[in-house]
Every structure is written in C-alpha cells, then in structure tokens.
Chains A and B, each alone.
Chain A
Amino acid sequence: AQKVTQAQTEISVVEKEDVTLDCVYETRDTTYYLFWYKQPPSGELVFLIRRNSFDEQNEISGRYSWNFQKSTSSFNFTITASQVVDSAVYFCALSEARGQNFVFGPGTRLSVLP
C-alpha cells in the first residue's frame, strides 16, 4: 500500500529564515507521481508542484525548491527567505501511474513569525 510520511508536525521559523519540509513516501510502483500542496488558513488547497518518478532533477521556482531523491524515497520542499504569507499547512502526496490510490501525507504546519 502507498504511504506518505511527513514527520514534522509543526515548524516555526522567523521571517527570512530558510526552512525545509520533509516528505518520505512508500510505494511498490516503479512509476508514480509526487505532489506538494499548500493549505493556507482560508482552507483551499493550492497546487505547488508535480513530479514523476523518472524525473529526479531538482526544481526551483522563485523562493521554492524541491529535492527529489529516489534512493531515499524522499521529496523535500525548501522555502528560502520565508515570509509571513508562507504560513500554512503543507501536504505531500503520492499517486500511482495508473491514476488511482491518491494518498496525502498528514501535513506539516508552518508558522513564519515576523
């Protein structure tokens, strides 16, 4: 069965600090997709990134970057120079290539203090 673990329940940082959110996944599939979503206090889940299992290149988008390491089954998310608006719950998720069994992790609550 597929599983996503986000060991950090809550993280607090001061504005402008860098922060990394960890995501470890389990799957028996060789082809799969990984996602990160943000859930701000308003409650609506916002898509951040999708990565397939064959693409291990790290990705950077502005202050956001993602490190995908198949060898350790991890897909970590780093926010550089954090801002108060980054405060939210962040979810890592996993999907089989067949397009079923979409699983979210438990989430990490990030608080960025001014």
Chain B
Amino acid sequence: EAGVAQSPRYKIIEKRQSVAFWCNPISGHATLYWYQQILGQGPKLLIQFQNNGVVDDSQLPKDRFSAERLKGVDSTLKIQPAKLEDSAVYLCASSYLSGSTDTQYFGPGTRLTVL
C-alpha cells in the first residue's frame, strides 16, 4: 500500500513570495491533516479535512494560508505571501476513519526555507 505522498520535498523562497505544497493521502482515507513543524518543536495542526469539508482550521493563519481538498482526495496548502517565520517542515497526514481519534499516517514532509 502506498503511503502519503508530498511534493516538493524542499522549497526555498524569499519573503513575500508565494508557495504551494501538494499532498496525496493513502487511498481510501477520509481525513487529511496539514501540520506545521518548526525546528525543535512538535507538529502543530493547521487544518483538518474530512472528505472535502473542513473540520478544524482554528490554527490556520487565514490571512496568508489557504488549503483545499477538491474531490475529497489530494490537497494543496498555499502560503501567500510568505514570512520568515513560516520556515518549517509542512507535514501531511491521513487517517482512514473520520476524526483525529484514528491513527494518522504521515508523509515525508516539505521543508520550507524563507529567506
């Protein structure tokens, strides 16, 4: 069974530029999550989708971050414009059942550096 796929693996941009990350969850998984992991810290949930609807986006900085999960499968996370403090690893995860009580399977992450 294929795992969670993410691309790109690395991205370097200058502040005020835009960037987008892509995630393809494990086939059949209803729930998809985006996390931000700043160096030395635990992952912080940005947004949680159940199928193509948003369950929780309370920690998403909506003035610059946006995410969508069209057709309830893959998802895109966008940052526009990027700030220096957005430098982090962005992790995507998926789970079979609805809700975060189910085991989450993580992708390899996208390491973003904002200069």
Contacts and interface: CB of A to CB of B under 8 A. Distances in A.
Given A91-B42, A102-B33, A47 B105 contact: yes
B109 A105 contact: no
A82 interface: no
A43 interface: yes
A99 B108 contact: no
Contact of B108 (A43, A47, A100): A43
Contacts of A81: none
Interface in B51-101: 55-56, 89, 91, 93, 98-101
A104 B42 CA distance: 6
Interface residues of B, number: 25
Contact of B91 (A4, A45, A93, A96): A45
- Interface centre among B101, B102, B104, by most chain A C-beta atoms within 10 angstroms, is B101
A93 B106 CA distance: 14
Interface in A56-114: 91, 93, 95-107
B36 to A, nearest CB: 11
A102 B106 contact: no
Contacts of B31: 99
B42 A106 contact: yes
B108 A106 contact: no
A97 B56 contact: no
B109 A44 contact: yes
Given A44-B107, A100-B56, A33 B42 contact: no
B105 A95 contact: no
Contacts of A52: 101
A96 B102 CA distance: 11
A47 B100 contact: no
Nearest to A4: B42
10 contacts: A4-B42, A44-B107, A52-B101, A95-B99, A96-B100, A99-B99, A102-B48, A102-B104, A104-B42, A107-B41
